[in-house]
A and B are shown apart, each in its own frame.
Chain A
Amino acid sequence: MANDLSVGNLIRSFGDFTAVDNVSFDVPQGSFFSILGPSGCGKTTLLRMIAGFDEPSSGTITIRDQDMRGVPPNKRPVNLVFQHLALFPMMNVADNIAFGLKRRGMKSTEIVRRIEAILERVDLPGYGKKQIRQLSGGQKQRVAIARCLVMEPSVLLLDEPLGALDLKLREQMKVELKKLQAKVGTTFIYITHDQSEALVMSDHIAVMNEGRFEQVGSPRELYSEPQTPFVARFVGDNNVWSGEVVESGERLTVRTGEELLFTTRSHKSYAKGSRVDLFLRPEALRIEPTDTNDLNTFEVDVKTILFDGANSRLLTVMPGGHELLVSLPQNRQFDHIRPGDRILLGWHPDAGLCFKV
């Protein structure tokens, strides 16, 4: 499959500060590609370079095999949905969407037809005559996307377009965006600092930190096989112990601060005595396991129950005061657990992952 976008060794510095630091990646045609990272890590800067509003200090950007160096934004086959949408307040919905088509000198009958079609697509049929200020947040959102999609870009860039929406709407739009992308088949490059957004929607995710890409992969890979401690911390929830390697080999044995010995795995083998962080997903912890063979086990006190429907958890404390999140299975088998109860936890050595600090 061909790549719609290729970025090679891209660097952007502002004076001494490097906002985007030697980033390379490829986005296959028709995929939903997310760039996930904390605020200020350089996501917008990267996107603006792709859209042509900013010049890279060095590196290449290739869109559909065309080098984009020196190509102004209005000549690039990409469109950008802005962080704050940037709809034109002096025009109504139809005029906003028609704006780009008119610049191409399209016939007005054709423009009208396309506006209707695209409004249909984003589920806003008949909204053409509305003024921008009359729209709700989610509707504005969809108009902004429609305005770009109608241009039939090779790549659609979206800069945290859900950032301004309330939680409920955000959940809803996540799904809708994914569906929309599947429907139109345009390549989406989606920026977000919300890992759940990225996990839900994307085919591929790049995790970005301090200007660098930490890891690129499918949501599942990122979740189950984080390659760096940053990714392990940032993507999904994780329990963390810091400890020391007491036995190295195919499996590692780690002694935690509480003097517990855990057997676990790591991507690389670390020498005896190295300081490591041990990451463990809440759902990897089994409550009162019947068969404790091969499992690491220990006892904890239940502090509170974090009820969240299907996503409910226990907040527990180890004797030393270390807090752990434990997922509750959905079969209501542990409804009897109350705060203050002492329970046994166990986990399989393959579920944990160690990184040297």
Chain B
Amino acid sequence: MKSGFRLSFWLFLAPVLLWLFLLIVLPHIDLLLLSFRGENDMGDLVWTIDNYKNFFIEPIYWYTFVRTALYAIVTTLCTFVLALPVSFYIVKLARPRTRGFLTVLLLLPFWVSELVRVYGWMILLRESGVLNYFLLKTGLVQQPVEMLYNDVTMIMGLVYTSMLFMVVPLISAMESLDDSLIEAASDLEASRFTILRTIIIPHCKPGITSGAIVVFMLALGNYLTPNLMGGKNSLWFTEQIYNQFIASFNWNQGAAFGFLLLVLSSCIIWVGLKLSRHRLGEVAA
């Protein structure tokens, strides 16, 4: 009986493990090996941890990583702050017809590629762009303003790209929120903000967590938006990996950076989870 159960357990698990191994582990093994190889002074390939050491020794590398991670966190926060009222409106306030329409509206940008989306923003925001045209026409500005190539625009672009990935889990989390809980809180003299803080956010916590992880990873791993909209000051960590692979032909360094990105971002998420559980626990207390 018991061994029968174990056999079927393994039978079910086998495809999952196989899938994980073939699609996720295997392709990375080569890369992992690559990251521990490097040329010595004689130009021979040897085993080394220099590629990892470089990351910590060379200030621009970790500086770029820290910057990228911070901006990804800021993006996640901004996306959350924007997505919360949007999803609340869609779930609780909009009528069924408007609801479908709004959801489609949110999906719409994703029917074109990210490149097209980014160029769309660039056409809108550039110095000779649509927005400046109207600002000049209405006399709000005398000189066209360059709205591209700065960090604020870049974050806006990232938030725009990530919005859907926060809104969808929030919507599904909020759908299970009973209206009477909100009314009960209001009946117990809570203000709107308190209701948000003590009822809605704790209820949506699973949705917020999954949304935040997806958005954070997407922002961290984004290449086009920071590169095209961020302009000259925004070296993104992914770009650095790309540069190592493509421009410097240094695949070993690139592979090491890739793994550092994987490990460090996992650490950040882990810390974030720890912190938020703690904090959310306090909120509920």
A residues at B contact (CB < 8 Å) = 51, 53, 72-75, 79-80, 82-84, 86-91, 95, 99-100, 103-104, 147-148, 151
Contact = CB atoms under 8 A, between A and B. Distances in A.
Contact of A100 (B180, B181, B189, B203): B189
B159 to A, nearest CB: 28
Contacts of A72: 186
Nearest to A151: B188
A53 B202 CA distance: 23
B78 interface: no
Contacts of B190: 74, 99-100, 103
B189 A103 contact: yes
8 shortest A-B CB distances, which residue pairs?
A100-B188, A86-B184, A86-B180, A103-B189, A90-B202, A74-B189, A73-B186, A82-B180
Contacts of A74: 186-191
A49 B240 CA distance: 62
Interface string B178-202: 1011011111111100100011001
A103 B194 contact: yes
B140 interface: no
A82 B133 CA distance: 56
B53 to A, nearest CB: 46
A296 B85 CA distance: 71
A160 to B, nearest CB: 13
Interface string B254-285: 00000000000000000000000000000011
A147 to B, nearest CB: 7
A269 B187 CA distance: 49
B179 to A, nearest CB: 9
B188 A103 contact: yes
Given A86-B183, A88-B181, A103-B194, A79 B284 contact: no
A73 B183 contact: yes
A91 B284 contact: yes
Given A51-B187, A72-B186, A100-B189, A86 B284 contact: no
Contact of B188 (A79, A83, A84, A89): A79
B7 to A, nearest CB: 36
A84 B185 contact: no
B199 to A, nearest CB: 7
24 contacts: A53-B183, A72-B186, A73-B187, A74-B186, A79-B187, A79-B188, A80-B183, A80-B184, A80-B187, A82-B183, A83-B180, A86-B183, A88-B181, A88-B184, A90-B199, A90-B202, A90-B203, A95-B284, A95-B285, A100-B189, A103-B188, A103-B189, A148-B187, A151-B189
Nearest to B283: A90
Contacts of B186: 53, 72-74
A63 B181 CA distance: 24
Contacts of B199: 88, 90
B101 to A, nearest CB: 23
Contacts of A53: 183, 186-187
Contacts of B194: 103
A99 B183 contact: no
Contacts of A73: 183, 186-187
A75 B189 contact: yes
Contacts of A87: 184
Contact of A104 (B181, B185, B187, B189): B189
A80 B185 CA distance: 10
Given A74-B186, A89-B203, 16 more contacts: A53-B186, A53-B187, A72-B186, A74-B187, A74-B189, A79-B187, A80-B184, A80-B187, A86-B178, A86-B180, A86-B181, A90-B199, A90-B202, A91-B284, A100-B188, A151-B188
A228 to B, nearest CB: 33
A356 B107 CA distance: 64
Nearest to A100: B188
Given A53-B183, A90-B202, A95-B284, A84 B178 contact: yes
A192 B191 CA distance: 30
Contacts of A148: 187-188
Interface string B37-64: 0000000000000000000000000000
Contacts of B188: 74, 79, 99-100, 103, 147-148, 151
Contacts of A82: 180, 183-184
B188 to A, nearest CB: 4
Contacts of A84: 178, 180
Nearest to A157: B187
A103 B189 CA distance: 6
Interface string B111-129: 0000000000000000000
B200 to A, nearest CB: 10
A93 to B, nearest CB: 13
A80 B181 CA distance: 12
Contacts of A95: 284-285
A200 B143 CA distance: 80
Nearest to B181: A86
A83 B199 CA distance: 19
Nearest to B191: A74
